[in-house]
Each structure stands twice: as C-alpha cells, then as structure tokens.
Amino acid sequence: MHVDGYSCDACGHDYPVVLGIPDFRVFPDPWIGLDDDRAKAERVESISSVLDFEGAVRAYWEMTPDTPRHLAERYVQHVTGAGRRSREWLDTLPDAVAEGPWLDLGCGTGDLMSAAVVRGIPVVGADIAMRWLVIARKRPELHDDRSSLVCCCAEALPFADGSFARVAALGLLEHCSDPMLVLREALRVLAPGGDLMLRTVNRFSLLSEPHVRVWGVGFVPRRLADRYVRWRAGIGYRHHRPLSSRELRRAMRKAGFRGAQVGAARVLNEERAALGRIGASLTPVYSMLRRAPVLRRALSWDAPLLEASATARPR
C-alpha cells in the first residue's frame, strides 16, 4: 500500500513519506536543513540508482565538495568497513537474538541492521539523516521484510511505548546535544525488561578523538572544543559531545534505567587501524587489562571507546 504521509492526532502535525521512507523529524540534522537533506537524498537516489552500496557511498562524498578529499576517503573506508565491525560486535553478545524486534538508533548506513537481519533479527533502523537512509537501502540484506527504515530524531521517537526488546545505539550519543533526552526516549520505547546497548566515544580518551584525529579534545572545556579543533586541524567540532564514563553512567541511571554498566569497550579488528600506530600496538595489553573486572572499570576512565548496557524497569 502506498502512503503519502502520516498525521499525528496528538500534536496535529503532518509528516511526509520521502522516497518511500517516513520522515518524522521534529527538527533537522545539525549539519543540514530539512529541505536540503531531502533534496540531497533525492540526488543520491538518482545518482546511485545503478550503483552498489560502496559506489553509492563514494557518489555521496563526490557530491559533498566541502569535505576535504583525504577526509572523504577516510569516511568511505569507515562506512564500507562498518558491516564487518557490526558482525563482529554481534558475535560478542551473549544473547544476540533477543525476543522481539530491535531498534537500531542512529542506524546511519545500516551496517548493524544488515548484520542483525542475517541472524534472523527483526529490526527497525532510525536516523536523523534521510540521505544516509537512502544509501542504507543499497545494502542487499535490507531488502528483507524483517527490516524497515524511519527518519526521525533520537530525542523524539515516533514509536509506541514498549515497542522494542532491545535498543542498540552504536556511535550515536557523541553526536547528540541532549543525551539525557535520547536515553529517556530509548527507555520509553523499550518493553519491560528490554535492554539498551551502547558504544560511544569516551570524552577523556588518551588517544586522539576518532572523528577529527585531534588529541586532547575531551580535556578542553566544551565551550572551547570547536575553537581548539579548528586551531589544530582546521575543521569544526560543533556537533560532537562525547561523554566520560562517569557522565554516561550517571545519565543512564538518571534516565531511569536499572543495572547500568559502563566499561572500556573491546577493540574490534576493524577498529585497530583507526587507533593509529601507537594505539594499535597497545591493543593486546589493553585487551588483557579489560578482561579483569576491577581493571575494566578503571580502564573506562581513559579508554578510547565505552561500552554500556542497562535494563528497562518493569512498568
């Protein structure tokens, strides 16, 4: 059935369907306005109609000339390697097939979704960037009827209470201006006893910030971080806000989750190259230390990435 749009009885707003993807955003992606994002999504759809997934990713960066070429190539490699990272991450979970559907929050180009669908997990992917969801559809795994894509804000999810057995957010929170609101929405859409699983950049990492490759950003006051990164690398840092392990743990508890656990994330094989020569050489020692429960908590203070989990309280 073809649907042109949706109307919300509670708020009175109408929401369009763009290129077959429902658009429930209540505010735009901080990088681009709503109309510009929809227009770019349409250009991506047109240009990439005969391309495979990697070709679509490269076509996107070719039509984004403001991004320096060396950064664009790095982003291409990051996106095309993301599927392997997600498959490896799923293999580390003790119960990779939770009962009921999953929500991949901040799904981007659908790497976790594609890995989940292959394992028979029904999953909904949500992201604020319509242009990325158009590219996600190029993944052959997402042609499966167990997956669907929704464009929306993580701070205002268009899903009913208790809709999902698991909410996974990999690399999302550091891009959100209000992580607390994101966590509260994640809790709301989780079924009682459902779980939240996060991976996010650590504010106080002793390695360089992975998005901009600049060291020490987290130790600079947040109001000065953009100025610092522009001085060091000539690029902006206005839309990044990594949390420390303490900030993340406190936010999860305050949002209403129970059993919040935050620790140093395991280093996946696909992530080693991004750690740089020194970081990669220290990975075996790091992996050994994080296996010790007491040391893992201490290691989370300055680990490059954090893993966190928590459970939704029974209603």
Q: Residue ranges of the domains in the chain?
A: 5-205+241-311
pLDDT at 273: 63
Return d(Cα 234, Cα 229) in angstroms, integer.
7
104 and 196 Cβ atoms separated by less than 8 Å: no
Residues 32, 128: contact at Cβ < 8 Å? no
Residue 276, pLDDT score = 61
Determine contact, residues 252/260, Cβ cutoff 8 Å.
yes
How far, in Å, CA of 193 to CA of 195, rounded?
6
Q: Which structure tokens are listed for 226? A: 């953009």
Which pLDDT belongs to residue 315?
66
What is the reported pLDDT for 303? 86
More confident residue, 8 or 278: 8
Just give the CATH number of 5-205+241-311.
Answer: 3.40.50.150
51 near 59, Cβ under 8 Å?
yes
**pTM for the whole structure:** 0.90
Instruction: Say if residues 305 and 200 touch (Cβ distance below 8 Å).
Output: yes
| Tens digit of each residue's pLDDT (9 = 90 or more) over 182-241 | 999 999 999 999 999 999 999 999 888 888 889 999 999 999 999 999 999 888 888 899
The per-residue pLDDT of the chain, averaged, comes to 88
- The tokens of 138 are what? 């190029």
